[in-house]
């Protein structure tokens, strides 16, 4: 998505006015382009994923399959995993570029919108090794909340190393 195309597909807060909260991270901004993000939350934690990684969204009907995994299991919520409940579980089909598709069950889809890359902050170098291992690559401040940007592909690499 190009923020300069003029049509804003995302809410105004996609171009965050909170960028002043993270002034030290301005130097880490990649560029001024916008990024179409799919926002959701699991167990009260807000996440965002590049909409390009999602090919389909469907309602979770309770099925179980090898290509279907729960987001919180993959993200290793740890001791809090037992207490995770999904209010409106939704199956997101991940576009991997392969024939085999993988699906992730997420919860509480909030929005699909364009966000300026200036609003996205990367993790500090000190934390990058730890976050990238779990597929988290950045933070998007939005409405006073932290949206953790996740890469589903990286996330699936733990289970499916063939995706490397």
Asked if 7 is part of the footprint of other proteins (rule: CB under 8 A), the reply reads yes
- What gap in Å lies between CA 114 and CA 137, rounded to an integer? 17
Among 70, 47, 74, smallest CA distance to 158 is for 74
Cα-Cα-Cα-Cα dihedral sign, residues 78, 71, 35, 96:
positive
Report the residue from 45, 51, 105, 136 that binds other proteins according to the rule CB under 8 A.
Answer: 51
**Nearest distance from residue 10's CB to other proteins, in Å?**
9
Helices (H), the chain: 71-75, 128-133, 152-156
Asked if 101 is part of the footprint of other proteins (rule: CB under 8 A), the reply reads no
Asked if 49 is part of the footprint of other proteins (rule: CB under 8 A), the reply reads no
Asked if 120 is part of the footprint of other proteins (rule: CB under 8 A), the reply reads no
Task: CB nearer to other proteins: give 7 or 99.
Answer: 7
- What gap in Å lies between CA 39 and CA 149, rounded to an integer? 9
Report the residue from 36, 96, 117, 134 that binds other proteins according to the rule CB under 8 A.
Answer: 36
CA dihedral 93, 96, 101, 103 (to 10 degrees): -30
Choose the binding region for other proteins from 16-24, 47-55, 119-127, 135-143 (rule: CB under 8 A). 47-55
- Which of the residues 76 through 95 are near other proteins (CB under 8 A)? 88, 90
């Amino acid at each position: 998505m190009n923020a300069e195309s003029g049509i804003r597909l995302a809410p105004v807060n996609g171009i965050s006015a909170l960028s002043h909260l993270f002034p030290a991270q301005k130097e880490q901004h990649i560029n001024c382009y916008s990024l179409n993000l799919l926002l959701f939350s699991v167990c009260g934690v807000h996440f965002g994923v590049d909409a390009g990684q999602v090919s389909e969204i469907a309602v979770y009907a309770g099925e179980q399959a090898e290509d279907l995994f729960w987001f919180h299991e993959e993200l290793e919520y740890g001791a809090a995993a037992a207490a995770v409940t999904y209010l409106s579980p939704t199956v997101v089909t991940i576009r991997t570029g392969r024939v085999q598709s993988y699906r992730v069950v997420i919860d509480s889809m909030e929005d699909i919108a364009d966000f300026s890359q200036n609003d996205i902050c990367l993790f500090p170098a000190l934390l990058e090794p730890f976050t990238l291992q779990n597929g988290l690559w950045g933070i998007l401040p939005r409405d006073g909340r932290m949206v953790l940007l996740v890469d589903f592909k990286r996330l699936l690499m733990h289970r499916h190393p063939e995706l490397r």
